[in-house]
Structure 1
Amino acid sequence: MRNGGNRKIHLFLLLMVTAVFIWSAIKPASYLSWLLEVSPAVVGLIIVIAAYNKFRFTTLSYAIIALLSISMFIGGHYIYSKVPLFNWIKDAYDLKRNHYDRFGHLLKGLFAIVLREILLRKTPLTKGPWLVTIVLSMSLAIAALYEIIEWLVSKISNGGEAAKNFLGIQGDIWDTQWDMLCSFIGSIVALLIFSKLHNRLLKKEVTKE
């Protein structure tokens, strides 16, 4: 049976995410931009919570999901291109843009660990080169899909202010390619750093399904 000793940690993560979500909804820079930015995280959280008793992830995967959700709530509250800390970094180092968007996409590479867990537990795949290849391919596909969704939102809204904030291009014609590259690099780094820890947690917290 799964180790039930981590329920308190999972509950703490949920409460932390909920608190940041409530904060992000209080007087955001733009409510429409906020809705566009936080919706993917909210939908994902609902799915994860609904499946908790049927498919319980490792604590590492839940921590990653919580971190990614919080990063999206922060971006939604301020608008990605105007997050204060990264505005300070921009001014301090005389950068051309606020890089919170790039940072957010790099963080999204951590989702590779969640994908890795799903594949190991729900498919015949085992640890090895094919698993890494498929996880990286899925990560890149998700990053590309997200960029397509951003483009569609921009087209549907005829390039309104909220859509421009959602796109967060900041004048860079290669922004889409940079975002996908950041997610891909983040996925590679996540697999290199966390795979061994993930293996230990899978053995400790999850029975073979």
Structure 2
Amino acid sequence: MAASSVNYQLPVLAATMLLFAASLWQSIYPDQQWLQHIPTVLALPALLWSARRRWLSNASFTCLAMMLALHIVGARWIYSNVPYDEWFRAVFGGGTREWLGWTRNHYDRLVHFAFGLLMTLPVAEAAVRYGGLSVAWGLAWAWMTVAGVSALYEVFEWAIAIIAAPDYAEQYNGQQGDWWDAQKDMALALLGSTLATLALGVGLQRQRRRTVG
């Protein structure tokens, strides 16, 4: 079981590292991209260490790798310029501007939602496995952790807005003129975590019923 975890997790990590390397090729926004990738260069060694030590299940490791992959894609275009509309048009013949009337680039919203959705399982698993919490308290801890990290990240963006030049701060933060950007980002992260918590809770309840039955 442990060997199979390593055999799965290391290739997943290798694919994520390749995506990271590809995202740096002919960088479009080199001045802003380096700051976006501070979390990336911290996360990749941590994931390697985790995979070699078999700290997390394959499901949790996949969630972390998916979250990092979404961030890598976003950092390539500093989030506000991810050309997902062009990708949709190439495949489906139409984009979100035509279908939903969107004028704002919502990729950052997707990533905040995905942060809550994908980080809940790994954090809960770590809390149960290494923190000695019950499953219920592990899920509650994961939900609160998502809330706390989301708030801290918005404070970090506020600090960037104060310290950096206005144009640079706007490009990094990606508010796109929305004064309620921070609140919406935190709300989406909490929504993602809430959905993940409910899904995991329901799944565990069904598993227990099957075991009892």
The interval holding the TM-score normalised by the smaller chain is 0.7 to 0.9
2:128 to 113, 120, 127: 120
Paired-residue identity, %: 26
| Larger relative contact order (CA 8 Å, sep ≥ 6) | 1
Trace 1:169-184 onto structure 2 (pairs within 5 A): 169-184=175-190
Give the Å deviation of 1:48: 2.7
For the 8 Å contact 2:13–2:48, the answer to whether it is kept is: no
Q: SS of the residue aligned with 1:82?
A: coil
Aligned length: 196
Show structure 2 runs of 5+ residues with no match.
87-94, 206-213
* 1:50-73 deviations in Å (ceiling 9; x for gaps): 344445211111111111111111
Trace 1:117-156 onto structure 2 (pairs within 5 A): 117-128=125-136, 130-156=137-163
For the 8 Å contact 1:33–1:166, the answer to whether it is kept is: yes
Paired AA for residue 165 in structure 2? N
Matched, 1:46 2:54: no
- Displaced runs of 4 or more, over 6 A: 196-199
Q: SS of the residue aligned with 1:80?
A: coil
CA RMSD across the alignment = 2.1
Q: Mean alpha-carbon deviation: is it higher for 177-186 or for 85-94?
A: 85-94
Give the Å deviation of 1:195: 5.4
Give the Å deviation of 1:91: 4.7
Bigger radius of gyration: 2
Paired AA for residue 173 in structure 2? L
* 1:12-62 deviations in Å (ceiling 9; x for gaps): 211210111011111222112211222213212222323444452111111
Alpha-carbon distance in 2 for matches of 1:89, 1:98: 9
Give the Å deviation of 1:133: 2.4
TM-score normalised over the length of structure 1: 0.85
2:107 to 100, 115, 123: 100
For the 8 Å contact 2:112–2:185, the answer to whether it is kept is: yes
Trace 1:1-209 onto structure 2 (pairs within 5 A): 3-54=2-53, 56-86=55-85, 88-109=95-116, 110-128=118-136, 130-161=137-168, 163-194=169-200
Q: Mean alpha-carbon deviation: is it higher for 102-111 or for 7-16?
A: 7-16
